[in-house]
Amino acid sequence: MQVGMIGLGRMGGNMAERLRRAGHEVVGYARSPQNRDVASLKELASRLSAPRTVWIMIPAGPPTRQTISELKGLLAPGDLVIDGGNSHYTEDQAHAKMLGEAGIHFVDTGVSGGVWGLQNGYGLMVGGDDADVNRVMPIFQALKPEGDYGFVHAGKVGAGHFAKMVHNGIEYGIMQAYAEGYELLAATDMVTDVAGAFCSWRQGTVDRAGRDRPCRPDAGDQLGPVRAVHLPPGRLPGDEGRRRPAQPVRRPRSHRIRHRRRHCELPSSLVTTPRVSSRCAAGVVWVGRVGDFPADP
């Protein structure tokens, strides 16, 4: 099947590659000239055969709205647009209405899987009419993991992103629970091997924390060193009330958590993103790469 992919970043680029490996023809477009097949949306539309399918994999909000508005003038009745970003479900309904005025179909898709999706497949939560979803099912089948799970036609337009929104809330809640659980273990003198306790949960327990990721700092963690500090709510370290982009630097693969003035080891398995925040009694536990903090040597 032929598909146009708009957005070739870490997610979109890997998704395009997975589709190609499955035998699909992908025409990719991105603002950056690296790895793209066409230089404009107009050229993308001209390269695709009718009825065309275009997958949007760019940031939600104005970038997605602007792209959909432009596609409305470039595509033809019977074509189909898939929004695979993180648009709000109410925006999906507005986008479907906008495209529908030109006879263009719309499907929203919440995508989970991160950088591991290329090899392992992506979890897909889809919203749209039955006929539209069935039409692009070969694409979904190529992107999803092998087996019976990893895909759901959740309902009408907007249902895919609504399900993904709830999925993200659950995921962040789990990460917060891990962070606070680690802090509780580290705060007592009874537990001397906190990292070992978390590692032990990878097998034989209901809560198999980080079972698919390295458990020790020397186990090949790709995120690099991290720290966590207590801060008042709404503050980032050293920024005096203003947010600054992180400037990660290469440091030895040691992980630590700063609990007021005390340090202890923070296992790699707990860190699923460069930044994870967790509210607790003393404020916010802010986790970031070593080097993000002005106080670092």
* Positions marked active-site: 164, 171
Backbone phi and psi for residue 37, each to the nearest 5 degrees, phi listed first = -95, -25
Exposure class string for 237-272: b at 16+ Cβ within 10 A, else e:
beeeeeeeeeebeeeebebebbbeeeebbbbbbbbb
- Kindly give, in sequence order, each residue whose CB lies less than 8 Å from that of residue 1, ignoring residues fewer than 6 positions away: 24, 25, 53, 136, 138, 139
Q: Could you give phi then psi for residue 207, rounded to 5 degrees?
A: -90, 90
Burial code (b: 16+ CB inside 10 Å, e: under 16) for 127-152 equals: bbeeebbebbebbbebbbbeeeebbb
What is the token pair recorded at 179?
């962070």
